[in-house]
Amino acid sequence: KAGVTQTPRYLIKTRGQQVTLSCSPISGHRSVSWYQQTPGQGLQFLFEYFSETQRNKGNFPGRFSGRQFSNSRSEMNVSTLELGDSALYLCASSTGTGSPYEQYFGPGTRLTVT
């Protein structure tokens, strides 16, 4: 069974630009969650999508948005990039139902904003 894939793996952008990251979950998984990981803040929850609907949302500004497609693939978009957005962005997939909702993480996209 293929794992969670994320593209691209590395990205360099400049302030003010926007970026789109992609996540393909494990086959059969309907839930995709996105996290931002930085050395200072650790892993912080951005949002979760389940069956093409945003089911949960963290405390990030509206510049961070996402969507999920009918095949469960998900994208997240960050507009008007700031230096502080430099981070590892991880997505995690799970079945989204039942318990314990074990999440499987992808390798992440390393975003550097200059």
Partner 1 sequence: GQNIDQPTEMTATEGAIVQINCTYQTSGFNGLFWYQQHAGEAPTFLSYNVLDGLEEKGRFSSFLSRSKGYSYLLLKELQMKDSASYLCAVRDRRRGGGNKLTFGTGTQLKVEL
Residues 61-80 that bind partner 1 (CB under 8 A): none
Beta bridge partners of 23: 6, 74
Would you call 79 exposed, middle or buried from its count of C-beta atoms within 10 A (0-12, 13-18, 19+)? middle
Picking from 60, 71, 85, 69, the residue whose alpha carbon sits closest to that of residue 27 is: 71
Residue from the set 24, 68, 94, 109 that interacts with partner 1 by CB under 8 A: 94
- DSSP label at 41? T
Q: Which is nearer to partner 1, 81 or 89 (CB)?
A: 89
Distances (CA, A) of 65 to 5, 19, 47, 54: 19, 11, 8, 10
Q: Which is nearer to partner 1, 28 or 100 (CB)?
A: 100
Shortest reach from residue 98's CB to partner 1, in Å:
10
Q: Which is nearer to partner 1, 57 or 63 (CB)?
A: 57
User: Which window, 14-22, 60-68, 76-84, 93-101, contacts partner 1 (CB under 8 A)?
Assistant: 93-101
Q: Which residue ranges make up the site for partner 1 (CB under 8 A)?
A: 4, 31, 33, 35, 41-45, 48, 50, 55-56, 58, 90, 92, 94, 96, 99-108
